[in-house]
Structure formats: C-alpha cells, structure tokens
Amino acid sequence: MAVLDLEKEVVDTSPTNKFNTKYIPQEVLGTGASSTVRRCISKDTKEEFAVKILDLNSGVETIEVLRAECMREVSILRKVAGHPNIIKLQDVFEEDAYVFLVFELCKGGELFDYLTKMITLSEKRTRMIMRQMLDAVNFIHSKGVVHRDLKPENILMDSEMNIKISDFGLAVYATDVDELQETRGTPGYLAPEVLRCGYYDGQAPYGQPVDVWACGVIMYTLLVGFPPFWNRKEYLMLRQIMQGKYSFRSPEWDEISDTAKDLVCFCHSLCSSLPQASFCNCYLGALVFMHAFGFFLHKSIGT
C-alpha cells in the first residue's frame, strides 16, 4: 500500500476529540471510499498503532447506515478477538462526524504487496502462511462469523512475517440469513454459491465454506503468482467460477507437489460438496496436509 501525502490535514483535530487526547496522528497509510488509515502514536506509551478514520459524511451511504455498519464491524472484531493471526482492535472512538478504530500496526504490510515483490512463494512459505490463515479462519467460524472478503489485500503481516486477517467490514454473523443471500466480496474470490445468490432467485443462503473457497484462491495465487480464475471480461471470469473451471496445467505448476494441489482442490470442493451443518470442523481436513510437513500452530512464517 503506497504512503500518501504526509502533509494532508488530519480530520477533527479539536482538543475535545477523544482520539486526539490519547493518540498523535501521523502520516496516511491508505485511503478508501469513506475512510483513511493513518499511523498513530500513543501519548502514554509511545507505541505505534494504525487508526482507521471513517468519515460518516462521505456520501457513500447515509450517516446512519455507515455508523451501523461500522458498529457491526466493531462487534465482530470484539467477538473474534484473541487469536494471534487476527488483527487486534485496540480502541474505538465515536464522534458526530467520524469513527476512529485503532488497530495494532502491522509493519510487514499487505500480503498482496509481499507477493507482488516476491512474484511467487515457495511451498514451505505458502504452507506456513496457509497454516496460520486456516487456523484463524476456523477460529472466526467457531465464533459464528463469516468474513466474506478474504484476499491478499486484507491479509496483513507483522514484523516477523506472521499474518493477520483484517478488514471485517463485510463480515456478518452466520445466522444473518438475509445478508448471506447478498453478493458481497471481491469478484475473483467469490465462491459459486455467492454468485448463484446474485443470479438466481430462491437460492439458499451461503455460509462459512465461502471463506475456505477464498483461502484456496489465495493459496493458488501464492504458489504461482496468478489467480485460478481470471479473464479480461469479468462476466467470463464469473462464469469460470460458477463452473469451477481452474487447472494446474501451466508450467508454473510442474514443480509444485501433489499435496499442495490437493489442498487447493480441497478448499474448492467444500462449496459444492459439503452441507452447511458439516462445515464446523471441515478445516481439519485441510490441516492434515500441513501436519504431513511438520508445520504446527502459530509457528512464525519467517523461521
């Protein structure tokens, strides 16, 4: 993520602003449609954090809708707190026009930028990333949550290159049937049943397996540097996803083990073959591949 204008004015800097009584805002780390992310420093401890500043007057949605969506994200972040591979929410401050979410600062940046720099990752590095990712996803699911937007841009890395799943802005509770019939997420990472809900009436709500499908897309991309589903025309790419059409025929896969390919296939088989009720422990089937190579929970990626 590129660093933007360091001189950009910090919003809502009045002395009464609760955020500014505890933190010193620093340079911009990134921007979105209705938010800005800055590095910030605790006035008490001098520790560095990242603050996501949501502008409720951005015009993207009404103030009421933006605030409600933000508070849902906060609720879910607190629900899934405590896992080493999930971003830690440090503080929340609500103002009339802004909401400030203070997170731990992940100095390793985005997995997307790391992959762009490396082009492809070794099987060893990929397995260790996936071990942490699948364990975190299982934890999220054990709390009754569906992330819905897993992708390399939403996977951060700390200074020791351990991953942190972030951006729970599209996350919902697994009991929210209405939300789980909406087509939400990033096109290349959407599971077939998410697309079916958008294309056809009367579809059953999708559920937690869609996150594991996205993990399969991420793993494929880490290993060979390009995604399993891609076309210049988005509707053709979405058709590929609906049909589950991907392959290991490109030369980049020649040196990749069958075990790694099996894990990608396993992640992508869940959405078409497993009923919702049987998903609660299905990630264990994927983790057996990790155990075969001696990669256990919470081991640093950089080791």
Residues designated as active site: 149
Q: 197: Cβ–Cβ under 8 A, 6 or more apart, which residues? A: 180, 181, 182, 183, 203, 205, 206
Cα–Cα nearest to 211, from 287, 140, 116, 120: 140
Cα–Cα nearest to 206, from 193, 220, 218: 193
Strand, coil or helix: 53: strand
Cα–Cα nearest to 259, from 215, 219, 289, 287: 289
Contact present, 16 and 64 (Cβ < 8 Å): no
Annotated binding residue at 52? yes
Q: 128: Cβ–Cβ under 8 A, 6 or more apart, which residues? A: 295, 299, 301
Binding residue numbers: 52
Binding residue numbers for ATP: 52
